[in-house]
Homo-oligomer: A and B are copies of this chain.
Amino acid sequence: MKTDKNDRILLAHGGGGQLSDELIRHHILPRFDNNTLAELTDSANLELDSKSICFTTDSYVVKPLFFNGGDIGKLAVCGTINDLAVAGSKPVALSLSLIIEEGFEFKLLDKILDSISQTARDNNVNIVTGDTKTVEAGAADKIFINTAGIGVKLDGIDLGFKKIKAGDKILINGTIGDHGMTIMSQRKDIKFQSQLKSDCAGLADLITKLLEGSNGVKFMRDPTRGGLAVTLNDIARQAGLSIEINQADIPINPNVQTAADMLGFDVLDIANEGKVVAILSAESADQCLNICRKHPLGKEAKIIGEIVKPKNVPIVEMTTIIGGKRIVHIPYGRQLPRIC
C-alpha cells in the first residue's frame, strides 16, 4: 500500500465530530470560497433576482471516476447546470453532497473537489451548501456525488412542449455519443485503446446566447442517459407530434461510430453530457444555427430534422444514410449502467 491511514477517508470523517470538521475546513471550504457557504449554517441564504426559479437535482455514480475529458466532479457540476439552462434559467447556486467510502484516498478526493471548484468558477455558479457522509468499506463504490441546483428564470423566456408545432426544426449543437462511448471504452472490463473524449461541458453560456439572440426557441433538453433516442421520443410523446430526423445530418465523431459498432451499440442511445437538443420555429433555424456555430460548444451544430404531424401515434422516424426509413425506439435501458 502506497498511502498510509492518514491519507484516506475514515468512517469518522462522516461522524459529525472533530474529523468531519477538519474534512470540511481543510478540504472543502478552501476550494469553494464564497460568503454564503462559509457561514456553515444549516441552510444557505440566497437573495434571488426573481421569484420565478428552476430547481433540479442529479446524483452521479459514473465509473470510472476519471475519464478522458472529465471526471465525476466536472460531470456533477455540468450536468446540473445544463438541466437548469435547458429549462430557460440562469444557474446561480448549487448544493454539493458527497457519499464517500471508507478508505477513499484524500489525493483523489482533493482532485475531484478541485475539478468541482474549477468547473463551478468556469460556469459562474457558487456551491452554497453541502453535506458529507461516509460509509464503511464495501458499502459504496468509492464516491457518489449529488448536486442540486437553483436557476433564476430568464426574463421573457417561456419554453414548453405545448409550444412545439409541426414544421419546427430540431437543432443539436454538435456530435453525439462522445460521453457514453468514452466511459465505455475506459471501463476495466472492456478497456480498449481509443481517441475518444467525453463532451462533458456546461451549456449555460451557449444557451443564454441562443435565447437572447433568437425568440424562436420553443423547447430544449440535454440528451444525457438514453441519448438522442430517449430525448426525441420524449419530445414526440409529450408534444403529441412525430419527429423525422436524417441520419446523414446527425454529427457523429468517426471514432465514436467505430467504437459503437465494435461494441454493438446504437449511437442514438448513447449518453451526451455537453449537448442540447433545441426545437426551433422554422423561421429562426438559420439564425439559431449561426449563433451556435460562433460558440466554442456549438461549432458543429446542425439541424437534424423536424417536427411533423403524426400519421397515427407520435413516433420518431429516421431516414437512414442509404435512404431507408426506420423507427427510433426508446432503448430498454440495460446497456450502459453508471454512465453518469
Is A211 located at the chain interface by the 8 A CB criterion? no
Partner of A16, one of B60, B221, B225: B225
Is A12 located at the chain interface by the 8 A CB criterion? yes
Known: A15-B337, A50-B51, A140-B144. A330 touches B134 (CB 8 A): no
Question: Which chain B residue has the least Cβ–Cβ distance from A152?
Answer: B51
Please measure, in the bound complex, the distance between the C-alpha atom of A178 and the C-alpha atom of B19, giving whole angstroms: 23
Q: Are A58 and B335 in contact (CB under 8 A)?
A: no
Chain A residues within CB distance 8 Å of chain B:
10-21, 40-61, 63, 82-84, 86-87, 89, 93, 95-99, 128-131, 133-136, 138-141, 144, 146, 148-151, 153, 160, 221-222, 224-227, 230, 238, 269, 271, 330-338
Task: Note all chain B residues with C-beta closer than 8 A to A55.
Answer: 43-44, 46, 93, 95, 128-129, 148, 150
Question: Which chain B residue has the least Cβ–Cβ distance from A337?
Answer: B11
Task: Note all chain B residues with C-beta closer than 8 A to A334.
Answer: 10-12, 15, 17, 19
Known: A14-B337, A48-B51. A57 touches B130 (CB 8 A): yes
Q: Are B52 and A21 in contact (CB under 8 A)?
A: no
Q: Are A51 and B44 in contact (CB under 8 A)?
A: no
Question: Which chain B residue has the least Cβ–Cβ distance from A23?
Answer: B333
* Cross-chain pairs A/B with CB under 8 angstroms, 7 sampled: A16-B331, A17-B230, A19-B332, A44-B55, A59-B133, A139-B140, A140-B141
Q: Are B15 and A333 in contact (CB under 8 A)?
A: yes
Partner of A42, one of B41, B53, B133, B222: B222
Q: Are A15 and B336 in contact (CB under 8 A)?
A: yes
Task: Note all chain B residues with C-beta closer than 8 A to A14.
Answer: 225, 333, 337
Q: Are A148 and B95 in contact (CB under 8 A)?
A: yes
Please measure, in the bound complex, the distance between the C-alpha atom of A82 and the C-alpha atom of B42, giving whole angstroms: 9
Q: Are B59 and A52 in contact (CB under 8 A)?
A: no
Q: Are A18 and B51 in contact (CB under 8 A)?
A: no
Please measure, in the bound complex, the distance between the C-alpha atom of A130 and the C-alpha atom of B334, giving whole angstroms: 21
Partner of A51, one of B49, B134, B333: B49
Q: Are A53 and B58 in contact (CB under 8 A)?
A: no
With contacts A15-B332, A57-B95 known, what are 15 further pairs, Cβ within 8 A?
Answer: A11-B334, A11-B337, A16-B226, A17-B269, A19-B332, A42-B56, A42-B84, A43-B83, A44-B54, A44-B55, A44-B56, A46-B54, A60-B133, A134-B337, A139-B338
Please measure, in the bound complex, the distance between the C-alpha atom of A42 and the C-alpha atom of B224, giving whole angstroms: 11
Task: Note all chain B residues with C-beta closer than 8 A to A12.
Answer: 332-334, 337
Known: A58-B97, A89-B43, A151-B43. A331 touches B15 (CB 8 A): yes
